[in-house]
Structure 1
Amino acid sequence: MFKKVSAYIGEYKKYTVWAAVLMSLGIVAHVIPYYFLYQIIAPLTRGEHIDLGYIMIRVAGVAVCEILFSFLYVQGLSFSHVSAYNTLKNLRVSLQGKLEKQPLGNIQGLGTGRIKKVFTDDIDQIELLLAHAIPEGIANIFIPALIVVLMFIVSWKLGLLSLVPLVVGMISMSMMMKAGMSKMNAYYESAARMNNTIVEYVNGMEVVKVFNKDGESYRKFGDVVRSYRDFTIAWYKVCWPWMAAYSSVLPCLALLILPVGALLVLSGSIALDKLVLVLCMSFAVGPSLLKAMNFAGKFPQLEYKIAELEKLMDHPPVKEGTAGFTGKNRDISFEDVHFSYEDTEVLHGVSLSLKQGTTTALVGESGSGKSTLAKLLVHYYDLDSGKIRIGGQDITEMSLEALNDQIAYVSQEQFLFNTTLYENILIGKPDATREQVLEAAHRAQCDEFLQRLPQGIETQAGDGGKQLSGGERQRISLARAILKDAPIIVLDEATAFMDPENEEKLNKAIDEIIRNKTVFVIAHRLSTVRNADRICVMKDGACIAADTHDKLLSGCAEYKKFWDASVSASAWKIKEA
């Protein structure tokens, strides 16, 4: 486990070493007062007279040692925390970099609750290992071991007696860790379920309230919370008896030293002052050793957390090359594309061509594979088999950055960051001038709502863009795509929030985006794509027909069914009573 962690410590490893050294010196200073105590007691056991000055010098020595202990220990903690928090930074940056390369489906499958727990809770608890368990654990193990060796030097008989509680305590500790490990997986799985359910419960609060599902939703929430409670209690129940055993025994090295040592003194086997010295040293062993054992109990948990982090990183990243875009043009071709979500194949040998400068629309029932095909083009996932090419170049030969430069992807759910609308649009082209951002907002038909906002384009979007309506968020995302000015545009249900008030504005904004571009559009409303250069009909993960609107009406029964349903839906209205 230390080897795994050390990979992220880097140049800060020396701080951890210095922390362990300073804390060890601090504990030495903390132990020396027991020797001063022996120097005061031992003469009394021999009937010798000691004056007040002799005692005061040793009392002053105790005070100096305690001050030195505090200084060295605090300085050691300072070094260990510098190392710890820089290591956590390195770990988070490494994890973020690997997550960026993962297929988005893998990330979404983990759930936001679990990812949040890994990035915050689990990584933060590694701080305990780095800042405390390693340096303090080393110091608090090293010093008791040294004291036990000194006990053997003073009297091997008393040294052996001191080992009995240590052995009992170590056995109790190992049994606790063994019992705890058997419950650990179930405990952490329960914690992950609880985190995901809490996130779902909060995010779905509006739906729960509107449809009076408070009871059902809260019941599910309550079930996972109780499950987490039950796993936690079960975990601690198997650990508590052993924890009580080692916590009681380890601080009491004098448990056998005092009675058996007294008998040895009475029998003349050892001198009384040696028994006093060993007793004084035993008082120094217990607290340090107990603290070290308490840290030892954390190591299985921390090992599990590191394993979970590595498991999260173990998913193979999406296949990408290092080349820039070298395609001859912006023609797009899907060649015998097969793709599965987990073990279920959802695209079955799709072959499709899109000519540069044309608009190609995908239509079909929900679940037919339209959006999946669009996401594969922007390389959200890897294919099971087949090829996707732009201008003859396989997209897996390009770096993700090069591919993203070629494509602007606009979906029905465009996320806005909790910063200004200006900054949200600027994401499309970070080096754009303010004039270019304002021009993009104008072309995306944002002027109307920006003018009524108190701070205009400098208004904060709020969490997820909650300060704006769905149509307004969509126009901001369209402004982002206009500013990017990519040669290929993918519109995945981009008009999902269209209403009578926004329809004209959104259509104008989309017209600005697709002008002179290669366009790939997915839509349920067939009226919005009837003028596309080519319409592809998807059914059960396959492309069953591709042609113009008029030819599909006469030659494709599936498309005609969609069109008739669309016309019927557009004519629907509420009857007057």
Structure 2
Amino acid sequence: MFKKVLEYTGKYKKYTFLAMFLLFVGLAFNVLQFVAIYKMIDGATGGETSISFYAKWSTVMLICGLVYVGFYIYGLERSHFSAYNTLKNLRISLQKKMENLPLGEIQELGVGSLKKVFIDDIDNMELLIAHALPEGFSNLIVPLLVIIIMFFVDWKLALLSLASLPIGMVAMFAMYGAGTSKMGDYYASAQKMNDTIVEYVNGMEVVKIFGRDGDSYKRFSGDVMSYRDFTLAWYKICWPWMALYGSFLPCVALLTLPIGGYFVYTGSSTLSNFLLVMCMTFSIGPTILRALTFMSVLPQLNYKITSLENILSAEPLKQGTKSFEGKDHSIEFKNVKFSYDKKVDVIEDVSLTIPENTVTALVGESGSGKSTLAKILVHFYDVTGGSVKIGGQDITDMTLEALNREISFVSQEQFLFNMSIIENIRLGKPGASDEEVIEAANKAQCAEFLKRLDNGIYSMAGAAGKMLSGGERQRIALARAILKNAPIIVLDEATAFMDPENEEKMNNAIAELISDKTVIVIAHRLYSIKNSDKIVVMKSGKIQAEGTHDELLKNSEMYANLWELSEGAKEWSAADKGSKVTVKEAFA
């Protein structure tokens, strides 16, 4: 386990070993304090009356104490320096692995679980690296050396000083056995609580709107109480054993004092040796307890490291090392199959060719596989069968960076970072000048709402872009795509949050964005895609029909029905506000 963690320590490993040495030296000087105490007691029992004798050993005791404190403080400073740099390396390593994981794998983990891994579990590694390694090492080695010395002084007294250890060790291992058996359930309970808390906070708006406060709070409260009850039950099993080993382990003088005193009385041991062994015994009692206390966290740390490794070892997206080498920007889906759970295919044997510089629309009912097909193209997931090619080059042959340079993806749900709007747009092209960003924002029809903000394009977007409406966030996303100017554009319900007044402006901006590009459009508003070069009708993960709008109206009953429903919705939304239309009539 230590070896696994030290792999992430990297160049800072030397500071951990330095800390181990410094703490070892510090504890050795701490033991010497008790040797000084022994000297003074031995002198007193021998009739020593010189003030200089006691002053000398008092000074030695003080110096040893100061050296111990100095070495211990500096040792812990070095160990923490190594520890927090290791945490940095762990998080960076995990972040890089996460970037290469399929999006589905990340979503299945859940926000609560990821927060627990990135923050809680990795933070707990600090205890292992900063304390358990250097302190555990020194607190074990120093007592071991002292016990060896005690055997040279008087083996009988040394054996007596070890008498309490077996009782304490039995109690400690009993606690480990009881605690480890419940550890998996404990962390499952903690993960469930984290996920519920995150869901409760994120869904609070929906809860309030539909008056489900009671039900939502009941689940929230239930999971929190469940975690509390399970944790207390787990600790209840461990507490008696903890009390037992906490009482016996430091009592290394349990038998040494009475029986050792008898040995001195009978002449089996000398008073001087008895005093020395007693002083050395008192010096190592707390250090042994300190060392073994770290063992109580090792099973938990081992569990957390295993959990981290399971995430890090998840199968990454398949990607090559090549740059884009396609002959053009045509797209080919060949016998593509895909499943989220590796059991049920949501895309079934789809073959589709999209010529360069054409607009292809994917339509169909919700759940038909339109968005999934688009996300497969941008390599959010690996296909479970078939292949996807751009210009004849398989997307798995190129790096993710190379693929991302060729595609702009604009979806209905866009995330904005808590930084200025101009920097949010600049994500599309990190090296762009302010003038280029502002031009892209204007093309995306952002100028109107930016004027209302106090600092215009330099205003903060807020956490997750909360300072902007859904439609405004979509225009920011469109500005990113315009700035990026990739040869392939994927628009997944890009105007979903647009109000009728601004939809025409957005369509004009999109028209400029897709000029001379290979475009895939996903839309429920069929009137917005009826002039596409090709319309692909999907149902249950399969292609039902493809062709132009007019061809599909004649040859595809499914498309004709979708068109009729779309036109009905359009007329309903554009109906005169003063006219009285019943709900039944509107949907008819």
Structure 1: distance between partners of 2:267 and 2:433: 94
Q: CA deviation at 1:107?
A: 0.5
2-structure distance, mates of 1:384, 1:5:
34
**Is residue 2:580 matched to residue 1:576?**
yes
Q: Residue in 2 aligned with 1:37?
A: 37
Match of 1:416 in 2: 416
- Specify the alignment match of 1:166 in structure 2: 165
Find out whether 1:435 has 2:439 as its counterpart.
Answer: no
Instruction: Give the equivalent residue in structure 2 for 1:92.
Output: 91
Structure-2-length-normalised TM-score: 0.96
Aligned residue runs from structure 1 range 286-435, under 5 A = 286-342=285-341, 343-435=343-435
Residues 262-282 of structure 1, C-alpha deviations (whole Å, 9 max, x = no match): 221222111122111111111
User: In the alignment, is residue 446 of structure 1 matched against residue 446 of structure 2?
Assistant: yes
Pair 1:527-2:513 in alignment = no
The structural deviation recorded for 1:535 is 0.6
Aligned residue in 2 for 1:197: 196
Q: 2:144 maps to what in 1?
A: 145
How far did residue 540 of structure 1 move?
0.8
Displacement after TM superposition at 1:148 (Å): 1.1
**Secondary structure of 1:347 counterpart:** strand
1:41-190 → structure 2 map (5 Å cutoff): 41-46=41-46, 48-190=47-189
Give, in whole Å, the separation in 2 of the partners of 1:501 and 1:142.
77
Give a deviation string over 1:427-462, Cα, whole Å, max 9, x none. 111112222111111111111111221111111110
| SS of the residue 1:571 aligns to | helix
Return 5+ residue gaps in structure 2 as ranges. 582-588
Secondary structure at the counterpart of residue 323 of structure 1: coil
2:536 aligned counterpart, secondary structure? strand
Q: Which residue of 2 aligns with 1:285?
A: 284
Q: Distance in 2 between matches of 1:45 and 1:249?
A: 30
What is the alpha-carbon distance in structure 1 between the residues aligned to residue 230 and residue 273 of structure 2?
50
Q: Secondary structure at 1:254's aligned position in 2?
A: coil
Matched residue of 1:419: which SS? coil
SS at match of 1:255: coil
Cα deviations across residues 273-315 of structure 1 (Å, max 9, x unaligned)? 2111111111111111111111111111111111111101111
What is the rounded CA distance, in whole Å, between the counterparts of 2:262 and 2:344 in structure 1?
A: 78
Cα shift at 1:147? 1.4
Partner-residue secondary structure (3-state), 2:461 = coil
Aligned partner of 2:454: which letter?
P
Match of 1:224 in 2: 223
With normalisation by structure 1, the TM-score equals 0.98
- Residue 50 of structure 1: how far off its partner (Å): 2.2
Is the CA contact (8 Å cut-off) linking 1:444 and 1:512 kept in structure 2?
A: no
How many residue pairs align between the two structures? 576
Q: Aligned AA for 1:495? A: T
Shift of 1:530: 1.0
Q: Secondary structure at the match of 2:163?
A: helix
Query: AA paired with 1:233?
Result: L
CA drift of 1:44 comes to 3.3
RMSD of aligned Cα (Å)? 1.2
- CA distance in 2 between counterparts of 1:570 and 1:18 reads 73
Name the counterpart of 2:584.
none
SS at match of 1:417: coil
Q: What displacement does 1:231 show?
A: 2.0
Q: Post-superposition shift, 1:69?
A: 0.8
Name the CA distance, whole Å, in 1 between partners of 2:140 and 2:515: 72
Aligned twin of 1:25:
25
Q: 1: distance between equivalents of 2:344 and 2:466?
A: 35
Distance (Å, rounded) in 1 between the aligned partners of 2:429 and 2:413: 20
Q: Which amino acid aligns with 2:156?
A: K
Is the 1:165–1:253 contact (alpha carbons within 8 Å) kept by the matching residues of 2? yes
- Partner secondary structure for residue 25 of structure 2: helix
- SS of the aligned residue for 1:389 comes to strand
Q: Secondary structure at the match of 2:292?
A: helix
What residue in structure 2 maps to residue 210 of structure 1?
Answer: 209
Aligned to 1:250: 249
CA displacement at 1:52 relative to structure 2: 2.3
Q: Residues 29-86 of structure 1: CA distance to partner in whole angstroms, max 9, x if unpaired?
A: 111111111112123334x232222222222221111111111100101111111111
